[in-house]
Copies of this chain bind each other. A is one copy, B any other.
Amino acid sequence: MPSCHAVIFRATRNPADDGYAVMAARMETLARQQPGFLGLESFGDGPESLTVSYWSSLEAIAAWRAHPEHQEAQRLGRERWYAGYSLRVATVEAELHFPEPERG
C-alpha cells in the first residue's frame, strides 16, 4: 500500500457564520490543489462537524498547514469561528474496502 496519512478534524462552531462558509469552501478548493492531497470528506451541517482528509506524506500535511491562506484561515478559526476543535494527524496502517476493488 502506498503511504497514506489522515487528518481528522473535529470541530464545534460558534453560531454566527461571519465569513465561515466562504472561507470553508475556499479552503476545500485550495486543499484539493495541494501536492500530496488524496481526498477529503466532511460530515455535519450544524455546529458539530467531522472532516477527514487524506495525504500522501506527513510533509504534504505540514506544507498545507503552513500555506499562507490556510494560516490566515486557521487564525480566523481560532479567533471567530470555532468554539473548539481537535486535530489529529494519523498514519494509515491498514485499510479494507467492501466490495473489494476490482484489480486491473
Contacts and interface: CB of A to CB of B under 8 A. Distances in A.
Interface in A1-54: 4-6, 8, 10, 41, 43-44, 48-50, 52
Interface of A: 4-6, 8, 10, 41, 43-44, 48-50, 52, 58, 77-78, 82, 84-99
Contacts of A95: 86-89
Contact of A92 (B44, B85, B88): B88
A97 B90 contact: no
A89 B84 contact: no
Given A6-B6, A8-B52, A50-B43, A89 B94 contact: yes
A41 B91 CA distance: 19
Contacts of A93: 5, 58, 89-91
A40 B13 CA distance: 20
Contacts of A49: 43
